[in-house]
Amino acid sequence: MNSPFPRPRILVSRCLGFAACRYDGQILKNGFVEQLQAHADLVPVCPETDCGLGIPRSPIRLCDTEQGLLVYQPATGREVTSQLQTTIDAILRDHPQVDGAILKSKSPSCGLFDTKIYQGRVDLQFLKKGAGLFGGQVLHQYAASAIEDEMRLTNLILREHFLIKVFTLARFRELSDRPTMGALVAFHANHKLLFLAYNQSHFRLAGKIVANHEQLPLPEVMHRYRVELTHILDKPMRTPGVINTLFHAFGWISEHLGAEEKQYVINTIEEYRDERLPLQAVTRLIEAHALRFAQNYLLGQVFLRPYPRALAGLHDSGRGREVR
């Protein structure tokens, strides 16, 4: 069976259940963040509050100007870019390495993809959507980490990808703290099916790095492997890759099954393909057979249990499997 799960380090917007620090003095309860608290080390942050804008406060706006991106407070006529940036610099400096981040959507500071950006700062004409001042720098500084906003995490596929990625990165971080070639070989072997489901080509490149035919020093091997790991986990798993991996896992138990049992597993995989069952239903079935036949290879595969079961949930925004 998989070893105990690590505790990922995750930056979280403080307004998502930690403090009433929104511009309007409100707090936003978030069930997913509440669940995570028992399994991860969450670091609540709020650049707007910590830079002295107060609670409640007049809303700020991001303005695209000739001088670059500015943060403007229309009600007071103040530009607070440098004030906010100083606090952002301190947050990033105090947390040089995190496994992930969950930030508030649409926020001028924390937004990742959907913050409103205005043209100039006089008439505040809407220009486009993009990242907030803090969110953009989080995406840059922690580019290899699992980063999402709370609204996108209502999608089942994106939420599962976030959990898989953040716990995998936490495992690799723990390995990197005390690296050995043996531990890296074991890490790669235990993640084989998971990485095959994600990206076969980069999985094979990672395997060549682990083989280390060039006899490179361990720090160089770890660095190269980290780069490939970033590529492997860059995007959520796609259904064809998952199907191939499920049949690969099925091959390890099929010889022990009768004809009706084999067909039952195959039908279950096909139901996943047709979006009539979640992935967890199939992996739990395969895991049950692995337990039944003491198939230790499968039981050691992270693919069957990539994150704590307590965090699994089937609620979904209805945006579909192929959301990116």
Give tens-digit pLDDT for 174-208.
Answer: 999 999 999 999 999 999 999 999 999 999 999 99
Within 10 angstroms of residue 141's Cβ, the number of other Cβ atoms is 17
Q: How far apart are CA 208 and CA 142, in angstroms?
A: 26
Cα 223-191-189 angle, rounded to 5 deg:
85
**Phi-psi bin for 258: left (phi > 0), alpha (psi -120 to 50), beta?**
beta
Q: How confident is the model at residue 246 (pLDDT cuts 50, 70, 90)?
A: very high
Q: Which residue has the higher pLDDT, 321 or 26?
A: 26
Given a cut of 60, whether residue 212 has pLDDT beyond it is yes
pLDDT value of residue 161:
97
**Identity of residue 319:** R
pLDDT value of residue 319:
61
Compute the Cα dihedral for 130, 24, 150, 80 and give only its sign: positive
Helix (H/G/I), strand (E/B), else coil: 151: coil
Helix orientation angle between 218-232 and 156-177, rounded to the nearest 10 degrees = 180
Q: How confident is the model at residue 313 (pLDDT cuts 50, 70, 90)?
A: confident
pLDDT in tens, 228-243: 999 999 999 999 999 9
Which of 20-24, 32-36, 320-324 has the weakest average pLDDT? 320-324
Residue 260 structure tokens: 């009706």
Given a cut of 90, whether residue 95 has pLDDT beyond it is yes
pLDDT value of residue 265:
97
Q: How confident is the model at residue 318 (pLDDT cuts 50, 70, 90)?
A: low
In the sheet with 146-149, reading across from the earlier edge strand, the strands are: 41-45, 9-13, 100-103, 146-149
- Establish how many alpha carbons lie within 13 A of residue 188's alpha carbon, considering only the half-sphere containing its beta carbon: 24
Residue 210 structure tokens: 């682990």
Q: How far apart are CA 107 and CA 103, in angstroms?
A: 9
Q: Where are the alpha helices (DSSP H) in the chain?
A: 31-36, 47-50, 81-94, 133-141, 156-177, 181-190, 192-198, 200-211, 218-232, 239-251, 259-273, 279-292, 296-299
Contact 17, 28 (CB under 8 A): yes
Contact 110, 132 (CB under 8 A): yes
Pairing status of strand 115-119 against strand 125-130: antiparallel
Count of residues making up the chain: 324
Q: How confident is the model at residue 120 (pLDDT cuts 50, 70, 90)?
A: confident
pLDDT in tens, 289-307: 999 999 999 999 999 999 9
pLDDT value of residue 67:
85
What percent of the chain has pLDDT above 90? 92
Q: Which of 267, 312, 264, 272 is nearest to 289 (CA)?
A: 264
Which of 11-20, 27-36, 63-72, 207-216 has the weakest average pLDDT? 63-72
Which of 26-30, 37-41, 317-321 has the weakest average pLDDT? 317-321
Q: In angstroms, how far apart are the furthest CA atoms of the chain?
A: 75
pLDDT in tens, 147-180: 999 999 999 999 999 999 999 999 999 999 999 9
What percent of the chain has pLDDT above 70? 97
